[in-house]
Chains A and B, each alone.
Chain A
Amino acid sequence: MDAALLEQMLLGALLALSVYLPLRCGQLSLATPGFYAVGGYVAALLSTRVAAFAGSGATSPLWALVAEMVLGGILAGLIALAIGGPVLQLRGIYLAIATIALVEILRVLNLNLPFTGGAMGIFAIPQPFEQADGYVLFTLVLLALACWLCQRLEVLRLGRAMAAIRDDELAAASVGIDTPRTKLIAFVASAVLAGVTGALAAHFLNAWNARAGSFDASITTLAFVVFGGSRYWLGPVLGGLVLTALPELLRPVGDLRLILFGSVILLGPLFFPQGLVTAERLRGLGALLGRAPQAP
């Protein structure tokens, strides 16, 4: 497997986690690609228009990449914070539709703003790494950090409050959980992660345009989570990795690959309605791993 594909898979896993965070709190938000696009534009603009960010050597400085990721995450988070209050009053499919509309609004803005390069977008984004391996290593660290945070959520008060809202929002409010605030935190965290991922992806892809945040991408990233399972962070990560790799690995079969890819998305939920990773399978895996060292 080549490093470029691996990098795409890791980015897919990060985006899947961004969809998972609101879903962990019962909120079906499809806004992830919109925030991803915003993060990407922050990185693309800074590194092509600001000399310090572009650097002078063969590669752009690493600190610039990190700074762009932070700024991209902050901008995405601020947008989420501003619109989250009213939008999160919607529930279920209505929230999904509102977030699709948000992605569309951001896409049209990105197409038409005077500094985003129109339909062509922004080119020749400088590379902080000479080869794809560098991206892979860097993204792996980022993914590990995101997974660790999601794992900590399982034992934290915030994570329990999110799970309670997912199970029964009204009962959660009745035991003193500030449900609007908790949902907003999940939504903003999701946006920050998408923004950070977009900033990284803009460099890796070398060019950035409004197609990064499209309705198609909303559906694809949702498929990651549906396929992998939305109960534990491992599910979206697996879903993001596998479903990003699949179209590429199926390339040899030609046009048939789209049909095969579609079938996987269709059949996955049929055979694994809870996604690949469920509580029972995780427990089974834990028992297996727990026993293994004691076996003679």
Chain B
Amino acid sequence: MSASSDGIAAAAAPLLQVEGISCRFGGLLALDRVSLELVEGEIFGLIGPNGAGKTTLFNVISGLTTASSGRCLWRGVPTAGLGACRLNRLGIARTFQNLRLFESLSVRENVLVGLHHAARAPLLGALLGHGAFRRHQGRLEARAMELLALLELEALAEQRAGDLPYGDRRRLEIARALATAPRLLLLDEPAAGMNPAEKDDLRQLIGRIRDHYSLTVLIIEHHVPLMMRLCDRLAVLNFGRRIALGSPAEVRRDPLVIEAYLGGSGGGQGSAAGEGR
């Protein structure tokens, strides 16, 4: 590998490139040669009917599923075979559509687990609870409370995560993901189960988070009006295929999208499936 030319390529490369990813489960082609590129700092939306392959694409990007073919590049470097832990350390964090909190731990502890990488401390000092270790712990706790405050969860810090109502759990997943200090945040239906007011709060929150941490966000969400307002760019998946890509205005006008998903002005069945959640 020639280091100098790679270095130049990496500097110019987008944050994440998805190149012709296919993913087959038995007879089902969940992803069919999907490609997209994420530019640093953008909020990129992924929409499409249920079963279109959106979550599968997240699983491939975050290292939980191995693609059948195609590849992902992180800042120009292929990520094949790295696994979820290494990819998180590179800067990719995610939330889960079906919520995977550490349910027996408190809200605060969930975020502290997310701060795992930041919590490295010399073992002996940690065992004996030395002053330096306690100060370090204090900084971690402060950081955890800061994140909880950002997600408006600080009042619930000592509650068991498994006891939280739905909307709070979704926000806790975001706090835990942010704790890992990501560069790219993958949000899988973060507004599912929220009422319209909560959804609006969440939209503003995601914008704030992006600005505050200068993050890149890749978000899956069914609520199309929310996505139109929130996202810089959108891609539409249908039956594992990327059928559209562009600005919200472009995607809204795309005839393929109108046919497959948005259901036009008449509001076909695709619209009911898409916006009813």
Tell me the A residues contacting B by CB distance below 8 Å: 149, 152, 155-157, 160-161, 163-164, 166-168, 170-179, 231, 279
Contact = CB atoms under 8 A, between A and B. Distances in A.
A174 B113 contact: no
Given A163-B104, A168-B100, A174 B116 contact: no
Interface in B114-130: 114, 116-117, 119-121, 126-127, 129
A175 B181 CA distance: 10
A177 B102 contact: no
B88 A176 contact: yes
A177 to B, nearest CB: 5
Nearest to A171: B100
A167 B105 CA distance: 8
Contact of A170 (B84, B114, B117): B84
A175 B105 CA distance: 15
Residue of A164, A170, A177 most packed against chain B (CB within 10 A) = A164
A163 B102 contact: yes
Residue of A152, A156, A231 most packed against chain B (CB within 10 A) = A156
A231 B103 CA distance: 13
Contact of A174 (B62, B109, B126, B127): B62
A178 B64 contact: no
B64 A157 contact: no
B85 interface: yes
A177 B120 CA distance: 12
A171 B96 contact: yes
B137 A155 contact: yes
Contacts of B120: 157
B74 to A, nearest CB: 15
16 contacts: A160-B105, A160-B116, A160-B119, A164-B105, A167-B103, A168-B103, A170-B64, A170-B100, A173-B84, A174-B62, A174-B64, A175-B113, A175-B176, A176-B116, A176-B117, A178-B85
B64 to A, nearest CB: 7
B259 to A, nearest CB: 36
B101 interface: yes
Nearest to A149: B127
B180 A175 contact: yes
Contact of A175 (B64, B88, B103, B104): B88
A170 B176 CA distance: 14
Nearest to B113: A164
Nearest to A180: B85
Contact of A157 (B85, B88, B119, B176): B119
B105 A174 contact: no
Nearest to B94: A174
Contacts of A170: 64, 84, 100
Contacts of A177: 85, 113, 116
A168 B62 CA distance: 16
Contacts of A168: 100-103
CB-based closest 9 A-B pairs? A176-B88, A171-B100, A167-B102, A173-B84, A157-B119, A164-B113, A173-B85, A174-B84, A175-B114
A161 B88 CA distance: 15
Contacts of A161: 113, 116
Given A152-B126, A174-B94, 5 more contacts: A155-B137, A163-B102, A166-B104, A172-B113, A175-B176
A291 B101 CA distance: 33
Interface string B66-85: 00000000000000000111
A157 B126 contact: yes
Contacts of A166: 104
B213 to A, nearest CB: 16
Contacts of A175: 88, 93, 113-114, 116, 176-177, 179-180
Given A152-B127, A157-B121, A160-B113, A167 B104 contact: yes
